[in-house]
Chain A
Amino acid sequence: MEKLGDGIFPDEVVMQILARLPVKSLFRSKTVCKLWYKLTFDKYFIQLYNDVSRKNPMILVEISDSLLECKSSLICVDNLRGVFEFSLNFLNDRVKVRASCNGLLCCSSIPDMGVYYVCNPVTREFRLLPKSRERPVTRFYPDGEATLVGLACDPAFQKFNVVLAGSHRTFGHRPDGKFICLVFDSELNKWRKLISFQDEHFTHMNKNQVVFVNNALHWLTVSSSYILVLDLSCDIWKKMSLPYDPIYGAGNRTYLLELDGCLSVIQISEAWMIIWVLKDYWKDEWSVVDKVSLRCIRGMVPGIFPISQTSEYVFLATHKQVLVYHRRSQVWKEMYSVKYSSTLPLWFSAHAYRSTMFSCN
C-alpha cells in the first residue's frame, strides 16, 4: 500500500488516528489528498471505523420545541463528545425516526404515509424504499400505519431488511385477525409478505425498542411475559421467554435493549435497575450482569427509561433529560437537559445509535 504520510507515520497509525475522528473531521480529511479520499471508501478502514465507534454508544433523541411550531430537531448524545445536533434534512422530507440499527436509521415520511427511507446520517446516504405492492392505507389496522417497524442491518454483509408489521383489515371490512408482515430486502430491492395469526399489543416503548441480534428482530409485548421474535433467516415468528417469572416481575417495568451484540433486558423497580443479558442465545441462558441502586436518582425513577448501553455505560432518558450511568465507577451524570418546555418527553422518541460508515446503497 502506498504511504499515507511523509514516510514517518506508518499507514496503520494514520488509519487508527483517522478512525477516531468524529464524522465531520473525517469528511473534511477527504480533501487532504487523493489517497486519503480513497481511504474513506476502503473496506478495511470502514471496518476499523465501525469497530472503534462500536465502543462509543450514543442516544439519538428528537426534541420538539413547543414555541416554534412544528419544528423538531434531532440531537445525538454520546459519552465521548457530549451533545451535538443532528440533521436529516438531506432526505428533503419531514420524517420521523422509526428504528435504528447498527448505524442506519429507518424513517417514515410524515406527510406521505407509507413512504420509508433508510439512511446513514453520518455519510448522508439514503435509500427511498419502493412502495410495497400493497396499498398500505387499507392494509394496516387501526390507523393505516404499521404497528411495528423494524430495521435489521447486517454490517458484515452490507445488507439490511426493513420490517413493517401489523394487524390486517381489508378495505371496507372488520379486522380479520391476520397479522401482516412486509419484509424489504435491500439486496433484491423488493418487499415480500408474510401472513400469520397473532393478536399482540405493544406499548410505545415496546415499538421503539426493537432489537436485532442473531439475524432476528425482537420486541417486548405489553404483557411483558415474553419476547416476540421474527427470525429473518426463515421468516417465522417465535416467542422467547424472559429471564424471570412474569408474576415475579410484576410491578417492575421491563425494557429490551442490546448489549454488545446480545439481547438484554433491563428491569426497573422503585429502588433497583437490574440488567440481564442473554449470553447464550441458543441455550436460552440469561444472567444478571448488574444490579444498580437507584437511590441517587430516587425522584426520577418513575419517569426514567433505559435507551442504550454497552458493558461500561447505560444511557437513560426522562421527560427532560438524558442521563448516563457509568457502571464501573457507579456514577450518574446528566448529559443533556431540555431548556424549554417541550410537548413530548425525550424518552418518547429516543433511540440507541452508533455512528458507522455503513453504506445503505
Chain B
Amino acid sequence: MASSSSNLISLKTSDGTVFKVERALAKTMKTVQAIIEEADANIYMIPIHNVFSHHMDMIIDYYKLSVAGKSKEFSVEKLDNDELKDFLLAVHYLNMEDLFEVLTQAVADRLEKKSVGYVRKYFGIENDFTPEEYAAIRKKNDWAFKGDDIEPEEDEEKQEE
C-alpha cells in the first residue's frame, strides 16, 4: 500500500520490472507525483509507460549523484544517439525538470557542430525548401556555416569532388 507512512513507492516500467524508489525520488517525477496525489488509497503500483528499466537505472544513478551534490558527474556519453533520444523522451514523459535540462543540453551539445543534413536525419525531418529558398536563406546566414570545426554540408562536399 502506498500509504503515507510508507517511504517507498513502487514503479512498474514498460518491460514489467518493478522498482521500489524513495518517496523523495518519486517527487522529482511530476507525472508520478500527480498520479499519487490523484490516487485513492488502493493504488499500490504505479505503471510508468514509455519508461524502460534501463532508463530507471540511469534515473536512480542521477538521483544518487545529485543528492550527494555531484550531479555534474552524471554522464550520458556512453549512450548512442538513439538511446539518448529514448532516454530524453522517457524523462520528458516523467516530467523531471533537472534531468530534462541535463539531457536536452546533452543532445544540443551533440548536434552543435553537425551539418544541417545530420540534424534533419536526427529529427526525421524532410527539407521542404525549394532550392532557391534554401539558397537565399543560406546566403543570408552564411556566416553561421563558416568555421573549421563545423561539419560541412553534404552538398558542399559533393561540389568539392
Contact = CB atoms under 8 A, between A and B. Distances in A.
Given A14-B123, A16-B100, A20-B104, A31 B141 contact: yes
Interface in B94-115: 100-101, 104-105, 107-109, 111-113
Interface residues on B, range: 20 to 34
A69 interface: no
B116 A29 contact: yes
Contacts of B119: 29, 32
A22 interface: yes
B144 A28 contact: yes
Contacts of A36: 125
Interface stretch (B13-21, B23-31, B51-59, B127-135): B127-135
A163 B109 CA distance: 39
A30 interface: yes
A32 B125 contact: yes
B79 interface: no
B124 A30 contact: no
Contacts of A18: 108
A23 B141 CA distance: 11
B104 A9 contact: no
Contacts of A124: 143
B74 interface: no
Given A13-B92, A14-B123, A17-B104, A27 B112 contact: no
Given A5-B125, A20-B105, A32 B143 contact: no
A8 B92 contact: no
Nearest to A40: B141
A329 B123 CA distance: 37
A4 interface: yes
Shortest 8 CB-CB contacts between residues of A and residues of B = A6-B124, A20-B108, A27-B144, A5-B123, A16-B104, A24-B144, A27-B141, A28-B144
Contacts, number: 84
Interface string B127-158: 11100001001100101110100100000000
B138 A17 contact: no
Binding site secondary structure of chain A: helix
A288 B116 CA distance: 48
A22 B110 CA distance: 12
Given A8-B85, A21-B108, 19 more contacts: A4-B123, A5-B124, A5-B125, A6-B123, A9-B89, A12-B92, A14-B123, A16-B104, A19-B104, A20-B104, A21-B112, A23-B144, A27-B144, A28-B116, A28-B141, A29-B116, A31-B137, A32-B120, A33-B125
Nearest to A328: B69
A208 B39 CA distance: 58
Binding site secondary structure of chain B: helix
Contacts of B108: 17-18, 20-21, 25
A34 interface: yes
Interface in A1-59: 4-10, 12-14, 16-25, 27-34, 36-37
Interface of A: 4-10, 12-14, 16-25, 27-34, 36-37, 124
B126 interface: yes
12 contacts: A5-B123, A5-B125, A8-B89, A9-B85, A20-B105, A21-B108, A21-B112, A22-B112, A24-B147, A31-B129, A31-B137, A37-B137
Contacts of A12: 92
A9 B123 contact: yes
B11 interface: no
Nearest to B138: A31
Contacts of A37: 137
A16 B102 CA distance: 11
Contacts of A21: 108, 111-112
A129 to B, nearest CB: 24
B88 interface: yes
B112 A32 contact: no
A139 B118 CA distance: 57
B124 to A, nearest CB: 3
Contacts of A19: 104
A7 B92 CA distance: 15
B138 to A, nearest CB: 6
Given A13-B89, A16-B104, A30 B111 contact: no
B52 to A, nearest CB: 15
A23 B104 CA distance: 16
A19 to B, nearest CB: 8
A33 B104 contact: no
A8 B89 CA distance: 9
Contacts of A28: 116, 141, 144-145, 150
Contacts of B141: 27-28, 30-31
